[in-house]
Amino acid sequence: MEKQTLIEKLKGQIITQLNLEGMKPEDIDAEASLFGDGLGLDSIDALELIVLLEKEYGIKIEDPKEGKKIFHSVNTLADYILANQ
């Protein structure tokens, strides 16, 4: 799958999975931080993203320390999925 297509798909999945009410994919900056100042996701959201990765893309994160890098932004998440599918 082309990266830009994946990014748009991920934005939609994140909005649905995390119940981001009223948000549209175009509201999410692919480069912006998912946690902290960016989208402001919390620890439960982080766990939901891990489940999303496994359920939708068949990818399990083996090393939890990688999580911070992988889930930094929609862009880094897309890179990880493309590299591990």
Angle at 40 between CA 80 and CA 74, to 5 degrees: 20
19 near other proteins (CB under 8 A) = yes
Q: Measured from the CB of residue 52, what is the shortest distance to other proteins in angstroms?
A: 9
* Pick 2 or 44: Cβ nearer other proteins: 44
Q: Do the beta carbons of residue 18 and residue 48 sit within 8 Å? A: yes
Residue number, 51 or 82, with CB nearest to other proteins: 51
Output phi, psi for 73, to 5 deg. Answer: -150, 170
- Toward other proteins, which CB reaches closer, 44 or 83? 44
Q: Give the binding range for other proteins (CB under 8 A) out of 4-12, 42-50, 62-70, 74-82.
A: 42-50
54 lies in the site for other proteins, by CB under 8 A: yes
Interatomic CA distance for residues 9 and 28, integer angstroms? 12
Q: How far is CA 50 from the centre of its chain?
A: 9
